[in-house]
C-alpha cells in the first residue's frame, strides 16, 4: 500500500505513524484516535516495503485486542499475514517458553496456574510453613510476590533485600516455598510467564539472538500499561535493531495497582534518545462536548505529556449530571433511563454501559435491572473458566497433559467421590516429599506405600483411568478426550441425578466447554491438548463480552478500558467513592492523578451520550454515609452540563449547581496554609458518621411464613419452604411453579402473600 493510497484513508499524523518505520517511535494516541488502524496499516506498509511478515511482531494486552488486530492485518495483507506474530504479552512468552523452557530447568509441557490455582498452592505453602493466615492472608502474600516479579525480583533477591526486616520473614519463606513447589509441579503462574522469559533471554544469548533476528520490527500497543518486567522483555527483543514502535496514552494509564509503570511511556525518549514522537489527537469516537469535558478534567494532572483531543464530529448533547438522595434512587434512575432510551429508539440495551468505581456498587444496580426486567451482564463476575465443574474437567485435562501438576491431580482424585480420605492423601503427600517426586508419581506407587493399607486399592482405579487416558490422548482430539473423561467418571450422570436448576446450569457449562474444545479443534492451527489448555488459561473476563447480544453491560471503570459505547452512565460520582476517601486523605498527588485518569477513561468511553450520577447518601458496611459531589464532576465546564431535574415517583432529584471554581494542583499548593479539601472532607465525614452511628439496616417483620403461598414479580407464584435468619435479613427459600426452587433475601425479593 503506497503512501498516496494511505493518504486517502489516514490523517496526516496517522500517516506519519505508519510510514516512520526505522528507529524507535513513540505514538501518543489519544482515546478514539484510531491507534489500531495505525498499527495494522503500519504492518501492511512494512510488508509492502519488502519486510518479511515473519520479521514483524505486534504485542498487545488482551486476547480481544489481539484478535481484532489479527483480523484487521489478515484483511489488509492477505497472503502471508499468518506469519506476522500478533499476540498478547503472556501468549508471546508462552510460545517462547514452549520452545526453550528446558534451557532454564522446566519441561516444555508445563502447566499455567491461574489465580485460583495460585491461591490453592499458597494455602498449602502457608500450612506447611505454619504461617497464620488470619494475620497474613494468602492473597496478601501472593500480591507481594506478584509485585516483586513485576519488578524482576526473584525469590533470592527478595530475601536479600528484606533480610533484616522481621515483618518480612514470612513473605521470604513463602516466596521461596511457593517457587519451589511451582518448579516441582512444572508450572508457571501468570507473572512467571514473563519473568522466566526475561531470565531465559538473559541467560541464553543464543536464544536472545534468535528472537532479535526474527523480530526486526516490533510494535507494542497500550504501552502505558507496561510494567518493569514487560519493558525489559521489549527492550531485550528490540535492542539489536531498535525498530521499536510503541503506541499508548499516558492519560489512560490506570493500572498502577497491577504494577503498570507510567514512566515507561513518560521517559521513552530517555530510554531511546533518538526516538521520533508522534501525537494522534483527532478523535473519531465522541462528540465535541464529551471531548471538551474530558480535556477539562485531565488538564488538571501535572504528570502528563501535553495534548488535547479534538474532533470533527457533531457538538452533541450536554453531559447529563443527576444527584439523588440515595444509591437506590440512583440505580432506579439508571435502569429506568436505559429502558426509556430503548423505548424511544435512541439506544438499544447493547448500546448502553454502566460504569462504576468498585465492584460492590453492582449489587444495587443489578437488583434494579432485575426488577425492571432489563437484560444485563456483569463483566468481572465469576469467569466461565473459574466455575467448579469447568475447573474440574480442566484439571483432568491438565493431569493427562502434565502429571507433575500436583494441584490438578489433588483437585480431581475424589471427583467424583472415590472414598479416598484426607488421611490417605496426606500419606501419599508425605511419601512424595520424602522421595522427591510429584504427587501423581507417588500415586503410581500406591501399592508400595505400606501405611496406606486398603486405601491403596481405591487409588489404583484412578491411576489406571488416567494412564489409559494418557495413552488414548495421543490419537484423540480435545473434544474426544473430554468425552472420555465424562464417560469414565460419570460426572454428568451425577448432575442429571441431582436434577436441580443449579445442576442443569452446571451441565450447560460443561456442554459449553465441549463447544469451546470443538471450535478450538476446528480453527486451531495445530490443535493439541497443551495448546487448548494454554488458550483457556489466557482468556480474560473482558473477552467474554458479546457485542451482538442485546443487554446492558455493567462493569468497573478499569474493565471498560479499550471499549466504547453509544450511551454511558458513570455511577457513584462522589468524593469518598470516586476519588476514594483514602486517595483524598493521602498526601500522594500521583494517586489522585491516577484516579483522574480513570475518570478520563470513563468519559471517553462515551460516543453519543454521557450521564454522570451521584448519591447524597450511600450505605457502607451497614451504615449510611454522606458524600459530596466528586471533584472530577466539578472540573467539568458548567456550559456543557445538563443538570436539570429528573422527575419520578412524585419526587424531584435536583442537580447541584456548578458555581465552585476549578483549581489545578499548582493553585492548591499555593493555598497550603488554608484547610485542605481532604482535611475538611475528613472532618465532615467524621461529623456525619457520628450523627449516623447506629443507623443500620432494619429487618422488617415478614407477613408470611413457611408453607404460605406467595407471589414474586418475576418468578410468579410459589410456596415458602424455609425461612432462615441471615442476621441483617431473612433468607427465604421458595418453590415456584414455573422456575423451581429459589433462595433470596426477603428485603430484595418483595414477596407478597397470596
Grid cell listed for 431: 511419601
Residue with cell 407471589: 711
Residue with cell 468425552: 483
Which strands, in side-by-side order, build the sheet including 244-248? 85-88, 56-60, 217-220, 244-248, 25-29, 276-280
Q: How many CB atoms lie within 10 A of CB 604?
A: 29
Q: Is 222 a catalytic residue?
A: yes
Residue 282 DSSP code: B
- Which run of H or E residues covers position 147? helix 138-150
Q: How many Å separate Cα 125 from the centre of its chain?
A: 26
Of the residues 342, 605, 607, 631, only one is catalytic, namely 605
Find the DSSP H helices in 499-570: 501-523, 529-537
Q: Are 732 and 754 in contact (CB under 8 A)?
A: no
579: cis peptide before it, omega within 30°?
yes
Q: Of 365, 370, 356, which Cα lies nearest the Cα of 744?
A: 370
Of the residues 19, 20, 21, 36, only one is catalytic, namely 36
- For residue 219, list its beta bridge partners: 58, 245
Residue with cell 503472556: 90
Rounded Cα gap, residues 157 and 148, in angstroms: 9
Rounded Cα gap, residues 62 and 560, in angstroms: 12
Q: Of 58, 52, 41, 55, which Cα lies nearest the Cα of 1?
A: 41
Of the residues 114, 221, 392, 595, only one is catalytic, namely 221
Of the residues 35, 318, 350, 427, only one is catalytic, namely 35
Q: What angle do CA 580, 585, 590 make, to 5 degrees?
A: 75
Residue 296, sorted as left (phi over 0), alpha (psi -120 to 50) or beta, turns out to be alpha
Of the residues 60, 92, 252, 609, only one is catalytic, namely 252
Instruction: Determine the length of the chain.
Output: 754
Q: Are 3 and 15 in contact (CB under 8 A)?
A: yes
Task: Kindly provide the residue ranges of all beta strands, DSSP E only, lying in 486-605, ordered along the sequence.
Answer: 552-556, 565-570
Rounded Cα gap, residues 34 and 278, in angstroms: 13
Q: How many Å separate Cα 293 from the centre of its chain?
A: 27
Grid cell listed for 636: 467539568
Of the residues 177, 222, 534, 635, only one is catalytic, namely 222
Rounded to the nearest 10 degrees, how much is the dihedral formed by the CA atoms of 200, 204, 205, 206? -110
Q: Is 35 a catalytic residue?
A: yes
Rounded Cα gap, residues 100 and 198, in angstroms: 12
Alpha-carbon dihedral sign for residues 609, 610, 615, 620: positive
Which strands, in side-by-side order, build the sheet including 716-725? 740-745, 730-736, 716-725, 709-712, 752-753
Half-sphere exposure in the Cβ direction for 613 (13 Å, CA): 29
Q: Of 392, 377, 379, which Cα lies nearest the Cα of 510?
A: 392
Rounded Cα gap, residues 139 and 167, in angstroms: 17
Rounded Cα gap, residues 568 and 556, in angstroms: 12
Q: Is 177 a catalytic residue?
A: no
Rounded Cα gap, residues 35 and 14, in angstroms: 8
How many helices (H) and strands (E) are present in the chain, helices listed first? Answer: 32, 23
Active site residues: 35-36, 221-222, 252, 605
Amino acid at each position: 500500500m503506497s503512501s498516496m493510497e494511505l493518504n486517502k484513508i489516514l490523517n496526516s499524523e496517522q500517516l506519519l505513524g505508519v510510514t516512520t518505520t526505522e528507529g524507535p517511535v513513540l505514538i501518543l494516541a489519544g482515546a478514539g484516535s484510531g491507534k489500531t488502524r495505525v498499527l495494522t496499516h503500519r504492518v501492511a506498509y512494512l510488508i509492502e516495503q519488502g519486510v518479511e511478515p515473519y520479521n514483524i511482531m505486534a504485542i498487545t494486552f488482551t486476547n480481544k485486542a489481539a484478535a481484532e488486530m489479527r483480523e484487521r492485518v489478515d484483511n489488509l495483507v492477505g497472503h502471508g499475514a499468518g506469519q506476522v506474530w500478533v499476540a498478547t504479552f503472556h501468549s508471546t512468552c508462552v510460545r517462547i517458553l514452549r520452545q526453550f523452557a528446558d534451557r532454564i530447568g522446566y519441561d516444555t509441557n508445563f502447566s499455567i496456574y491461574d489465580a485460583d490455582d495460585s491461591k490453592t498452592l499458597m494455602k498449602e505453602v502457608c500450612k506447611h510453613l505454619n504461617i497464620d493466615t488470619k494475620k497474613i492472608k494468602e492473597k496478601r502474600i501472593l500480591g507481594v510476590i506478584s509485585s516483586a516479579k513485576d519488578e524482576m525480583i526473584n525469590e533470592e533477591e527478595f530475601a536479600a533485600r528484606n533480610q533484616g526486616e522481621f515483618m518480612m520473614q514470612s513473605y521470604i519463606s513463602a516466596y521461596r516455598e511457593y517457587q519451589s513447589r511451582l518448579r516441582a509441579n512444572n508450572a508457571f503462574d501468570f507473572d512467571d510467564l514473563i519473568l522466566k522469559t526475561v531470565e531465559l533471554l538473559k541467560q541464553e544469548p543464543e536464544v536472545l539472538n534468535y528472537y532479535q533476528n526474527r523480530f526486526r520490527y516490533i510494535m507494542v500497543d497500550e504501552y502505558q500499561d507496561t510494567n518493569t518486567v514487560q519493558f525489559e522483555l521489549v527492550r531485550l527483543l528490540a535492542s539489536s535493531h531498535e525498530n521499536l514502535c510503541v503506541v499508548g496514552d499516558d492519560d489512560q494509564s490506570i493500572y498502577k495497582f497491577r504494577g503498570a509503570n507510567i514512566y515507561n511511556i513518560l521517559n521513552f525518549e530517555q530510554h531511546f534518545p533518538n526516538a521520533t514522537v508522534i501525537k494522534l489527537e483527532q478523535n473519531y469516537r465522541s462528540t465535541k462536548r464529551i471531548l471538551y469535558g474530558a480535556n477539562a478534567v485531565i488538564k488538571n494532572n501535572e504528570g502528563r505529556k501535553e495534548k488535547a483531543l479534538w474532533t470533527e464530529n457533531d457538538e452533541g448533547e450536554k453531559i447529563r449530571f443527576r444527584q439523588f438522595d440515595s444509591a437506590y434512587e440512583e440505580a432506579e434512575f439508571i435502569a429506568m433511563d436505559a429502558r426509556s432510551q430503548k423505548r424511544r429508539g435512541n439506544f438499544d440495551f447493547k448500546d448502553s454501559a454502566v460504569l462504576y468505581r468498585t465492584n460492590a456498587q453492582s449489587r444495587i444496580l443489578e437488583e434494579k435491572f432485575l426488577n425492571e426486567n432489563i437484560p444485563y451482564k456483569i463483566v468481572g463476575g465469576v469467569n466461565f473458566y473459574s466455575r467448579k465443574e469447568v475447573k474440574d474437567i480442566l484439571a483432568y485435562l491438565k493431569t493427562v497433559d502434565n502429571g507433575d501438576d500436583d494441584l490438578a491431580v489433588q483437585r480431581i482424585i475424589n471427583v467424583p467421590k472415590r472414598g479416598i480420605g484426607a488421611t490417605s492423601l496426606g500419606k501419599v503427600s508425605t511419601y512424595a516429599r520424602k522421595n522427591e517426586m510429584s504427587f501423581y508419581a507417588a500415586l503410581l506407587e500406591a501399592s508400595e506405600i505400606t501405611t496406606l493399607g486398603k486405601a491403596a486399592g481405591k487409588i489404583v482405579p484412578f491411576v489406571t483411568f488416567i494412564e489409559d487416558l494418557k495413552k488414548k490422548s495421543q490419537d484423540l482430539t480435545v473434544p474426544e478426550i473430554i468425552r472420555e473423561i465424562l464417560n469414565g467418571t460419570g460426572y454428568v450422570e451425577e448432575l442429571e441425578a441431582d436434577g436441580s436448576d443449579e445442576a442443569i446450569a452446571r451441565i450447560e457449562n460443561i456442554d459449553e466447554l465441549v463447544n469451546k474444545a470443538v471450535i478450538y479443534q476446528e480453527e486451531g492451527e495445530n490443535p493439541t491438548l497443551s495448546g487448548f489448555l494454554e488458550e483457556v488459561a489466557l482468556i480474560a473476563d473482558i473477552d467474554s463480552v458479546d457485542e451482538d447480544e442485546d443487554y446492558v453491560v455493567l462493569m468497573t471503570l478499569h474493565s471498560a478500558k479499550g471499549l466504547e459505547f453509544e450511551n454511558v452512565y458513570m455511577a457513584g460520582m462522589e468524593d469518598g467513592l470516586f476519588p476514594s476517601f483514602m486517595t483524598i486523605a493521602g498526601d500522594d498527588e500521583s494517586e489522585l492523578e491516577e484516579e483522574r485518569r480513570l475518570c478520563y477513561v470513563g468519559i471517553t468511553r462515551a460516543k453519543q451520550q454521557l450521564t454522570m450520577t451521584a448519591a447524597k447518601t450511600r450505605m457502607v458496611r451497614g451504615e449510611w454515609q454522606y458524600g459530596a459531589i466528586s471533584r472530577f464532576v466539578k472540573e467539568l465546564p458548567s456550559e456543557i452540563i445538563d443538570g436539570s431535574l429528573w422527575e419520578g415517583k412524585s419526587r424531584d432529584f435536583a442537580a447541584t449547581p456548578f458555581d465552585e471554581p476549578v483549581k489545578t494542583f499548582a493553585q492548591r499548593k499555593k493555598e497550603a496554609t488554608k484547610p485542605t479539601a481532604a482535611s475538611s472532607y475528613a472532618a465532615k465525614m467524621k461529623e456525619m458518621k457520628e450523627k449516623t452511628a447506629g443507623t443500620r439496616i432494619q429487618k422488617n417483620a415478614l407477613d408470611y411464613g413457611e408453607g404460605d403461598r406467595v407471589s414474586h414479580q418475576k418468578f410468579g407464584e410459589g410456596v415458602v419452604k424455609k425461612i432462615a435468619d441471615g442476621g441483617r435479613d431473612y433468607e427465604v427459600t421458595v418453590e415456584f411453579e414455573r422456575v423451581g426452587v429459589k433462595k433470596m433475601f426477603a428485603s430484595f425479593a418483595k414477596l407478597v402473600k397470596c
